Amino acid sequence: MLDADFFRRWMTVTAASVDREADRLTALDSPIGDADHGSNLQRGFRAVRDALEKEPPATPAAVLTQAGRLLISTVGGASGPLYGTLLRRTGKALGDAAEVDERRLAEALRAGVDAVMQLGGAAPGDKTMIDALVPAVDALGDSFAAARAAAEEGAVATTPLQARKGRASYLGARSIGHQDPGATSAALLIAGLVDASAD
């Protein structure tokens, strides 16, 4: 079973991997964006990590809704409201349970990803974070490791796509040939599930 501590570790290990990969995320956002994705998420997940350390929420839902709120308020850029919505909606779907199983988390994350698609209007294949998140949620019924692999494959598979949403879409066909930064960070978030359970 996954308790509030697990969800806190998920956010903390994600903050650590975003720190490690921030330069790479920003570099990916340079040819097809405005070169701020790494610093945007770094600011956001540092705020999340600090807040969760200071006052650990009591339930899985409270961890995710607080993290989502903080991402919305601290991340400048499109990715803040999108990741914030993902975590808030996922948290809301977990209800007030003290512990949830993997299946419940998979269902909740599905609701979260649906909310991101509704907010941003992106579908799979539009070269966004959705291209990592949808395959990850599809694979989550198998295992966290399968979800991580699916997210990483989804991120890599954005390279030949033409962006249809977000800043990269302004480039039209010139967005082809570059991996999407948001799909790459989404794969870090999903990888955090594996790291949080290994701890």
* Binding footprint of Mg ion on the chain (CB under 5 A): 29, 33-34, 36-37, 77
**Nearest to ligand ADP of 68, 120 (CB atom):** 120
Closest residue to ligand ADP, judged by C-beta, is: 182
- Is residue 113 close enough to count as binding ligand ADP by CB under 6 A? no
Separation of first and last alpha carbons in the chain: 14
**Nearest to ligand ADP of 59, 158 (CB atom):** 158
Among 64, 67, 78, 136, binds ligand ADP (CB under 6 A): 78
The answer to whether the beta carbons of residues 167 and 161 sit under 8 Å apart is no
Which range, of 5-13, 52-60, 118-126, 171-179, touches ligand ADP by CB under 6 A?
Answer: 118-126
Kindly give, in sequence order, each residue whose CB lies less than 8 Å from that of residue 102, ignoring residues fewer than 6 positions away. 2, 140, 144
- Is residue 152 close enough to count as binding ligand ADP by CB under 6 A? no
DSSP E strand boundaries for the chain? 2-3, 99-100
Give least dist CB 36 to ligand ADP, A. 5
* Cα–chain center distance at 10: 11
Q: What angle do CA 32, 123, 24 make, to 5 degrees?
A: 30
- Is residue 178 close enough to count as binding ligand ADP by CB under 6 A? no
CA–CA distances in Å: residue 1 to residues 80, 106, 107, 170: 29, 13, 15, 44
Which range, of 27-35, 49-57, 84-92, 93-101, touches ligand ADP by CB under 6 A?
Answer: 27-35
**Nearest to ligand ADP of 117, 147 (CB atom):** 117
